[in-house]
Amino acid sequence: MPIDFTVRDFCYPISICRLRRIFERTQWLSSSERAAYQNRRLVNIIQQAFDHVPYYRRLFTELGLSPRDIETVDDLKKLPPLSKSAVREGSADLLADNASRYRPRAYTTSGTTGSPLRFYLDKNARILEFVYYWRHWSWAGYRLGDRFAQLGTRFFLEREGKRESAAHWQPQVRRLMLNSGRLSLSRGKEFAEALRRYRPLFLKGMASSINFLALIVREAGISDLSFTAIFSTGEVLTPQYRAMAESVFHCPVLDSYGNMEGTGAISQCMHGGYHINSDYGFLEFANLSPSATGDSMIGDAIGTSLYNLAMPLLRYEMGDGIEIFPDPVSCPCGRTFPLVKAIHGRSNDIIVTADGRFIVSLFTLPELVDGIDFVQFIQETPLKLHVHVIPGKMWNDEQREKLGSCIKELVGSEMTVSIRSVDHDDIIVDASGKIRPVISHVDWGTII
């Protein structure tokens, strides 16, 4: 999930424009020029990690390494991968002792794993994130200041008077927030009216939220809505989701992949190519194995920060599978970024409410509640939801009540919600060994 920008993120116009100019150039670099750019940034990150990050100071000492031993991205393999659990359990040791000079801001994400993870992004990392999206959107014609719509739930959950609203316009950033927690067939016309009133040129959201917005608009018999482009993020964009959105909104869908921790990014251009943004972070692929068709390889994404000095993450396991071409492929768009074939591993099951709404963001709720080490949502019927929580140190009756209230805000009062504290042995693991934070036994296709 991308970070949510606020007005204060625009308070560094000179720095933003400087990086924007650099990013306009780096997308066309040769492979040798691109490697040189990455290596220059990496040297600063490695020195900062060695001098000021307790975790890496210990690690370098244990491995007998110094910053001079890691001066290129190829040298990174001298370090072991960094797991999400290591960051989750030792984030204090990964925060630089001079972090305050870089104006860090704390963020919490559960991704789609169900376990909250706290990390810090400094000023330059936030500027990087903004410029990265600015550039990607510009591939579809976006210009800074254009109106856009964004699907989400957290914005509405955090504003008590807005929780039932379908939409909210933010004139200061020219953004129309759409409440993905209130997507239902009965409110299709209400969402359509908000889009007609504010006329956003672009739409951003999670793949499944975009799909369900398109579905309710189509089922309402509405065919006059369109965007210049739609930007999908946070989940796997299935062919069905893409086809639905492009058909209903009469525009292309450009997919993207990354993580809030800022270690790697892949974005799709208008020609359909999935480009590794090599100037954003260094992305590598481990544990390569042949794909089902045998004509490509699938590997685990590992990313390295190139900007975040407050909390640099080196060889961070991003938790997703990426399908890569056996040989380098060029894109008709002319950009020289390396291409990947496909992104795997971020689709979630969907909770369907009794009133016909589609909830795709329950896994984000641990970000709003303290004391949750892991949570798994299991929908047995349209009226029954089980919530299994592995409690942390701060879990108590107050946090249980807060979690229940947040869930009810999303799923409605008709659904019975049972919250139970469990241990790791009670968590459901699928046949492949993957732990899914959301499991639904309800076929939403039969409901609509």
pLDDT at residue 116, rounded to an integer: 74
pLDDT at residue 246, rounded to an integer: 98
CB 375 within 8 A of CB 388: yes
Average pLDDT of 139-154?
95
Q: Is 240 exposed, middle or buried (0-12, 13-18, 19+ CB in 10 A)?
A: exposed
Average pLDDT of 342-359?
75
pLDDT at residue 444, rounded to an integer: 60
Percent with pLDDT over 70 in the chain: 92
CB 122 within 8 A of CB 309: yes
Q: What is the mean pLDDT of the chain?
A: 90
> In angstroms, rounded to a whole number, what is the distance separating the alpha carbons of residues 415 and 384?
6
> What does the pLDDT look like over 287-306, one tens digit per residue?
988 876 778 899 999 999 99
> In angstroms, rounded to a whole number, what is the distance separating the alpha carbons of residues 123 and 227?
32
Using DSSP, state whether 190 is helix, strand or coil: helix
Average pLDDT of 408-415?
89
Phi-psi category of 315—alpha, beta or left, where left has phi over 0 and alpha has psi -120 to 50?
A: left
pLDDT at residue 344, rounded to an integer: 82
Q: What angle do CA 319, 138, 316 make, to 5 degrees?
A: 20
Average pLDDT of 427-447?
69
Nearest CA to 392 among 18, 81, 52, 89? 89
- Say what the pTM is: 0.84
Nearest CA to 319 among 291, 299, 290? 299
pLDDT at residue 382, rounded to an integer: 87
Flag the least confident range among 33-42, 222-231, 235-244, 385-394: 235-244
> What does the pLDDT look like over 219-255, one tens digit per residue?
899 999 999 999 999 888 888 889 999 999 999 999 9
Average pLDDT of 404-415?
90
Residue 266: its H or E element: strand 265-268
> In angstroms, rounded to a whole number, what is the distance separating the alpha carbons of residues 256 and 258?
7
Percent with pLDDT over 90 in the chain: 66
Q: Which two tokens stand for residue 386?
A: 């089980």
Residue 424 has pLDDT above 80, yes or no: no
- Alpha helix (H) ranges present in 121-187? 123-138, 154-157
> In angstroms, rounded to a whole number, what is the distance separating the alpha carbons of residues 125 and 132?
10
Flag the least confident range among 83-87, 191-195, 274-278: 83-87
**With bands split at pLDDT 50, 70 and 90, how would you rate the model's confidence at 432?**
very low
Same fold, 141-251 and 351-447: no
> What does the pLDDT look like over 197-226, one tens digit per residue?
999 999 999 888 898 899 899 989 999 999
Residue 7 has pLDDT above 60, yes or no: no
> What does the pLDDT look like over 8-29, one tens digit per residue?
666 788 999 999 999 999 999 9
Residue 114 has pLDDT above 70, yes or no: no
Flag the least confident range among 161-165, 282-286, 339-343, 426-430: 426-430
Domain 7-135+258-344 sits in CATH 3.30.360.10: no
> Residue 23: CB partners within 8 Å, gap ≥ 6?
131, 132, 135, 279
> In angstroms, rounded to a whole number, what is the distance separating the alpha carbons of residues 238 and 286?
24
More confident residue, 403 or 432: 403
Average pLDDT of 52-75?
98
pLDDT at residue 199, rounded to an integer: 98
Distance of CA 274 to CAs 70, 240, 250, 271, 337, Å? 29, 18, 21, 9, 9
Supply φ then ψ for residue 355, to 5 degrees: -95, 15
**Domain 351-447: which CATH number of 3.40.50.300, 3.60.70.12, 3.20.80.10, 3.30.300.30:** 3.30.300.30
pLDDT at residue 435, rounded to an integer: 67
Average pLDDT of 394-423?
92
Average pLDDT of 321-349?
88
**With bands split at pLDDT 50, 70 and 90, how would you rate the model's confidence at 434?**
low
Residue 46 has pLDDT above 80, yes or no: yes
Q: What number of CA atoms fall less than 13 Å from residue 237's CA on the CB side?
A: 26
**Count of residues for the chain?**
448
More confident residue, 63 or 392: 63
More confident residue, 109 or 259: 259
What are the boundaries of each domain within the chain? 7-135+258-344, 141-251, 351-447
**With bands split at pLDDT 50, 70 and 90, how would you rate the model's confidence at 261?**
very high
For residue 5, what is the DSSP state? Answer: -
For the domain made up of 141-251, the CATH class stated in words is alpha beta
**With bands split at pLDDT 50, 70 and 90, how would you rate the model's confidence at 41?**
very high
